[in-house]
């Protein structure tokens, strides 16, 4: 079997979204099949690209230049699905990037199991959003999307602890805060397929945040660091601006994020 870090680089260097997510799911299945048989496939080391390959479309624009549409309209709902699809594709790369970029950090096999599983789920999430877009007469790539989504990855490329703090424990946790409102928008519009897809995403994202918190705490323990202090320090250093309430305190708790981690970083905290 190809070493896991090498698989990760292959996903990262695949540009087409459908091909990228299909390869991601295939490699995740191969890893999981080997693990189910009790094997521990080689992790290896890799030299991941600074930025993952992406399709020619969507056109990437500064967030300020991506047109905003009212969520109460069909166009607004398509724009919302498109934005989520873009986030999911970025998330596929973010998960494989952790595997490739930090392959030299000795971690227990369960760390790789978690990241492979999350990468597989992100790939599924992109597919769900792509299907919803197509059912609504659009497709991924039809609209402009936010540039700069890779910024957090670039800034934390040298520090696994910082990557865990900023990506799963801040960015993915934010998804837990905003997804229920999104589900409501589609429920009101009677868009059952989008409601079901977003509910799947919402349920699975809890575990992605939990993986972040679990391995963040693990690494803090390894280095005899206080997790809360280190979290505050790293988020202030690598995440620009305050965290925005309201927070989904219940789901954050389920994911292993206690209030004293995030409230002190909010604009009102």
> Which residues lie near Fe ion (CB under 5 A)?
88, 91, 122, 125, 172, 205, 208
Task: Report the alpha-carbon distance of residue 225 to residue 240 in Å, rounded.
Answer: 23
Residue 143: name the closest of 84, 201, 72, 73 by CA. Answer: 84
Beta carbon of residue 84, minimum distance to Fe ion (angstroms, whole number): 8
Nearer to Fe ion, 193 or 260 (CB): 193
Beta carbon of residue 268, minimum distance to Fe ion (angstroms, whole number): 26
Beta carbon of residue 167, minimum distance to Fe ion (angstroms, whole number): 9
CB 194 within 8 A of CB 186: yes
Nearer to Fe ion, 172 or 177 (CB): 172
| DSSP codes joined into one string, 202-225 | HHHHHHHHHHHHHHHHHHHHHTT-
Which residue number is nearest to Fe ion in terms of Cβ?
A: 208
Nearer to Fe ion, 1 or 203 (CB): 203
- Quickly count: other Cβ atoms within 10 Å of residue 24's Cβ: 28
Task: Find the angle CA(36)-CA(203)-CA(261) to the nearest 5 degrees.
Answer: 100
Beta carbon of residue 121, minimum distance to Fe ion (angstroms, whole number): 6
Residues in CB range of 191: below 8 A, 6 or more apart: 77, 132, 136
Beta carbon of residue 14, minimum distance to Fe ion (angstroms, whole number): 18
The bridge status of strand 145-146 relative to strand 60-61 is: parallel
Nearer to Fe ion, 114 or 122 (CB): 122
Burial of 132 (0-12, 13-18, 19+ CB in 10 A): buried
Beta carbon of residue 80, minimum distance to Fe ion (angstroms, whole number): 15
Nearer to Fe ion, 120 or 205 (CB): 205
Residue 92: name the closest of 13, 186, 196 by CA. Answer: 13
Beta carbon of residue 193, minimum distance to Fe ion (angstroms, whole number): 17
Nearer to Fe ion, 34 or 178 (CB): 178
Tokens coding 151: 């910024």
Nearer to Fe ion, 101 or 125 (CB): 125
How far, in Å, are 67, 95, 130, 193, 243 from residue 134 at the CA level?
20, 26, 6, 11, 33
């Amino acid at each position: 079997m190809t070493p896991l870090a090498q698989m990760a680089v292959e996903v990262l260097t695949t540009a087409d979204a459908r091909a990228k997510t299909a390869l991601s799911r295939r490699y995740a299945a191969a890893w999981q099949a080997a693990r189910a048989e009790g094997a521990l496939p080689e992790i290896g080391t890799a030299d991941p690209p600074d930025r993952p390959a992406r399709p020619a479309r969507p056109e990437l624009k500064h967030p300020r230049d991506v047109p905003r549409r009212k969520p109460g309209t069909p166009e607004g709902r398509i724009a919302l699905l498109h934005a989520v699809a873009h986030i999911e594709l970025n998330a596929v790369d973010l998960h494989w990037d952790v595997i490739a970029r930090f392959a030299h950090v000795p971690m227990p096999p369960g760390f790789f199991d978690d990241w492979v599983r999350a990468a597989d789920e992100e790939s599924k999430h992109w597919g769900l959003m792509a299907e919803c877009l197509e059912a609504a007469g659009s497709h991924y790539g039809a609209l402009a999307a936010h540039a700069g989504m890779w910024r957090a990855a670039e800034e934390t490329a040298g520090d696994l602890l910082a990557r865990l703090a900023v990506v799963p424990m801040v960015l993915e946790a934010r998804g837990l805060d905003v997804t229920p409102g999104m589900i409501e928008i589609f429920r009101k519009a009677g868009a059952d397929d989008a409601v079901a897809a977003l509910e799947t995403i919402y349920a699975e994202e809890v575990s992605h945040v939990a993986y972040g918190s679990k391995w963040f705490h693990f690494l803090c323990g390894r280095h005899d660091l206080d997790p809360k202090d280190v979290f505050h320090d790293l988020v202030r250093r690598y995440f620009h601006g305050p965290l925005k309430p309201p927070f989904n305190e219940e789901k954050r708790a389920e994911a292993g994020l206690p209030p004293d981690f995030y409230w002190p970083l909010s604009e009102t905290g």
